[in-house]
Amino acid sequence: MPNSKYEPAHGYMTEKIQLGYISSAIEGKILPLNAHRMHEIVTLLAPKSQSKPIQFWQLFSILGPDRIVRIVHNFYHLVFQDEIWFKASFERVGDMSHHVRTQSSMWLDVMGGGLKYHGAEFRLNFHHQHNALEVMNTRGAERWVKLMVQALDGSEKHMSEDPRVRISINTFLTHFMKKYAVDFGFENIEVFGATNAPVKSKLNFLNMTDASIEALSEPDLREGLIGRGVDVSEITDKAELVRKAKNL
């Protein structure tokens, strides 16, 4: 399946969620300090190269609407077959089709599918504070995560053949679970699976002072030089790496 088959657009929540995630990911050293200015990060179009991760606001450009809805449908199919204590809080709000519509509209909105989730974060927060409060705790989170992982495992055919898609969805879910754990005071549960690996911007040694180059760690120097096409395989001394960087 070709990349960026679907034309993405910002939703009501996309930009704010994107900025929040980028700030958190910079703090966690998943994204570089200049990630806000990196086009491949902030664009809604997924990178063509599979060596670069898909940010979750780029998922719509790969999956389109139908696949996202089907993944959400698979999740709620499991919810409405689950134990009474868990599914009851969902049943009080609406039937399965109601939850699929609202959850998938939120996913689409955040993932680059356009203006789908009216009310944005206010609506989302209201739902969790008033409709879903009974499961916004450690026990409910553990159950929710378990069923979501089952749904994702059973939804591979809806994720295209790009292995980055599942990892991006895991990243999306992990980000929101971390937020809910803080908001509702329960144990953070991050067991969706592999998430996006750290992204590092290429070091531009030409724009760095000698002191800033010397302050780099040996691994950063190696990675930076390799990124500039320099063969460092036989260099074992940091001083030599520094000299190479300064001479670029």
Domain shared by 69 and 156, yes or no: yes
- 136 part of a folded domain: yes
Domain shared by 35 and 155, yes or no: yes
**Residue 97, Cβ density class (10 Å: 0-12 exposed, 13-18 middle, ≥19 buried):** exposed
pLDDT band at 127 (very low <50, low <70, confident <90, very high): low
Domain shared by 166 and 45, yes or no: yes
What is the secondary structure of the chain as a DSSP string?
A: --TT-S--B--SSHHHHHHHHHHHHHHTTSS-TTGGG-HHHHSSSPPSSTTSPPPGGGHHHHHHHHHHHHHHHHHHHHHTTS-HHHHHHHHTT--HHHHHHHHHHHHHHHTTB-S-STTHHHHHHHIIIIISGGGSSHHHHHHHHHHHHHHHHTTGGGS-S-THHHHHHHHHHHHHHHHHHHHHT------S---PPP--PPP-GGGS-HHHHHTS-HHHHHHHHHHTT---TT---HHHHHHHHHT-
Domain shared by 170 and 226, yes or no: no
Domain boundary residue, one of 184, 216, 231: 184
Domain shared by 171 and 139, yes or no: yes
- 197 part of a folded domain: no
User: Looking at residue 67, what is its pLDDT?
Assistant: 97
Domain shared by 73 and 163, yes or no: yes
- What is the domain-level CATH number for residue 161? 1.10.490.10
The predicted-structure confidence for 99-111, as pLDDT tens digits, reads as follows: 999 999 999 999 9
Domain boundary residue, one of 184, 215, 236: 184
- 86 part of a folded domain: yes
Domain shared by 173 and 242, yes or no: no
Q: Mean pLDDT of all residues in the chain?
A: 89
User: Looking at residue 131, what is its pLDDT?
Assistant: 63
Residue 78 or residue 121, greater confidence:
78
User: Looking at residue 181, what is its pLDDT?
Assistant: 86
The length of the chain is 248
Domain shared by 232 and 161, yes or no: no
Does pLDDT of 42 surpass 80?
yes
Domain shared by 223 and 101, yes or no: no
Domain shared by 173 and 233, yes or no: no
User: Looking at residue 204, what is its pLDDT?
Assistant: 80
- Please name every residue paired with 9 in a beta bridge, in sequence order, or none if there are none: 113
- 5 part of a folded domain: no
Report the alpha-carbon distance of residue 30 to residue 64 in Å, rounded. Answer: 26
Averaged pLDDT, 122-132: 64
Contact by Cβ (8 Å): 198, 83: no
Range with the poorest average pLDDT among 57-61, 73-77, 119-123, 153-157: 119-123
Two structure tokens written together for 25: 């990911």
pTM score of the predicted model? 0.80
User: Looking at residue 201, what is its pLDDT?
Assistant: 66
What distance lies between CA 28 and its chain's CA centroid?
13
The predicted-structure confidence for 162-215, as pLDDT tens digits, reads as follows: 999 999 999 999 999 998 888 788 888 778 999 999 987 677 888 889 998 898
Does pLDDT of 26 surpass 60?
yes
Domain shared by 179 and 213, yes or no: no
- 3 part of a folded domain: no
Question: Torsion-angle region of residue 204: left (phi > 0), alpha (psi -120 to 50) or beta?
Answer: beta
- 18 part of a folded domain: yes
- Domain region containing 139: 14-184
User: Looking at residue 2, what is its pLDDT?
Assistant: 42
Domain shared by 230 and 159, yes or no: no
Range with the poorest average pLDDT among 22-26, 89-93, 197-201: 197-201
Domain boundary residue, one of 152, 184, 216: 184
Nearest alpha-carbon partner for 171 in 156, 193, 152: 193
Domain count, the chain: 2
